[in-house]
Amino acid sequence: MHELSLAIEIVEIAQAEARRHGNGRLLAVHLRLGPLAGVVEEALAAAFPLAAQGTEVEGAELVIERVPLVVYCPSCRAERELGAEVWLVCPVCQTPTPEVRQGRELEVTALELER
């Protein structure tokens, strides 16, 4: 359960960035989340309002965008998107694909501010 510490980090990032962009009320925080980030989405969603309490972020919505796992297949010489299962083999030719091109994301991508 490290999601509360992550939620606190997210609140701090959102707070700092919102201040940099004027003083409109913060409505939403957008987050990109990859399957290899090691984060339980539900736990993070539950922790966010707790972390936001008493800050300028309180009341803002956390919008989580899940990104799929993308690997590079050395045989096909192409990027391949994998399904929900983290099974790092090329879905086309079954070659093992240790090179992960996308899937570790845990980043704040955007803020929605009131005008």
**Contact positions toward other proteins, by CB under 8 A?**
1-2, 5-6, 9-10, 13, 17-18, 21, 24, 27-28, 31, 35-40, 85-89, 96-98, 100, 106-115
CB of 39 to other proteins, least distance (A): 7
In sequence order, which residues have a C-beta less than 8 Å from that of residue 47 and are 6 or more positions away? 3, 4, 6, 7
CB of 61 to other proteins, least distance (A): 11
Cβ closest to other proteins, residue 10 vs residue 52: 10
Q: What are phi and psi of 36, to 5 degrees?
A: -95, 10
CB of 85 to other proteins, least distance (A): 8
Question: Is there a contact between 85 and 52 (Cβ–Cβ < 8 Å)?
Answer: no
Cβ closest to other proteins, residue 20 vs residue 54: 20
Among positive and negative, which fits the CA dihedral 15, 21, 24, 27?
negative
